[in-house]
Amino acid sequence: MTYESKTDWKYEDVVSEQDLNRIEGGIVETQTKVDAHVNRKDNPHGVTPTQIGAETTTGAQAKVDAHANRKDNPHAVTADQIGAIAKGANNSSVSMYTAVLQPIDTRSINLIYTNGLLTKVDEKDGNAIVKTTELTYTNGKLSSVKETAGGKTITETLNYNADGTLAGVTKAVS
C-alpha cells in the first residue's frame, strides 16, 4: 500500500484507529524502502571513486605493479630472514657456503696465467671476490691447488710417482 499522508490535522482532531494504522503502515513502508536502498551494492547514485577520494581500479593496479617490479628491497628483508646466503664484501667475509652455493649466473671469473700456465682464478659476485684458487707448478706439473673462501683455505698437494704419474693428493684446511 502506498502511504497517503494527512496534512490538514487540527488541534481538536481525534486520532482514530485507522489513522494510526495508516501512519504505522507508512513507517513500515518507508523503512522497507530505506533498507532496500541501503542494501543496494550497484552504486545507485553513480558515485565515482574521484568524488569520494577513493583509488581507481587502474590506479590501484598501477601501484601494485610498480611495487612488484621494485628490486631495491623495499621491505628491508635480510638474507637470514629468508634463509638465503649473504654476499660478502671481500673474500674473508664470504661464508664457505656462499662460495660454493652462490648462483653461477651472477658470477664473473678472472683467469690469470703466468708463463702460459693458469696460476690463479678469482670468482667474483659483483665486486666481491667469493673464491680464489691459486695453482702452483713444480717442474711444469701441477703441485698444489689452494682454494680460499670465507676465511678458510683448503690446500690440496699433488704427489707424483717417479715415472711422473699422479700418486695421490693430500688435503689440508686452515
Q: What is the pLDDT of residue 7?
A: 84
CATH architecture for segment(s) 87-173:
Beta Barrel (2.40)
Q: What is the pLDDT of residue 69?
A: 87
Instruction: Indicate the helix (H) or strand (E) that contains 153.
Output: strand 152-160
Degrees to nearest 5, angle at CA 33 with 47 and 46: 10
DSSP-derived secondary structure letter, 71:
-
Amino acid, res. 143? S
Instruction: List the pLDDT tens digit at each of the 174 positions of the chain.
Output: 677 888 888 999 999 999 898 899 999 999 999 999 999 989 888 888 888 888 888 889 999 998 888 888 778 887 677 766 555 555 555 555 555 555 555 678 889 999 999 999 998 877 788 889 999 999 889 999 999 987 889 999 999 999 989 999 999 988
Helix (H, G, I), strand (E, B) or coil at 17: helix
Degrees to nearest 5, angle at CA 80 with 89 and 93: 20
For residue 147, give the nearest of 137, 136, 133 by alpha carbon.
133
Q: What is the pLDDT of residue 84?
A: 61
Angstrom distance (rounded) from CA 143 to CA 84: 36
- pTM, two decimal places: 0.42
Q: What is the pLDDT of residue 130?
A: 84
Domain extent listing, the chain:
17-68, 87-173
* 111: phi then psi, degrees, rounded to nearest 5: -105, 135
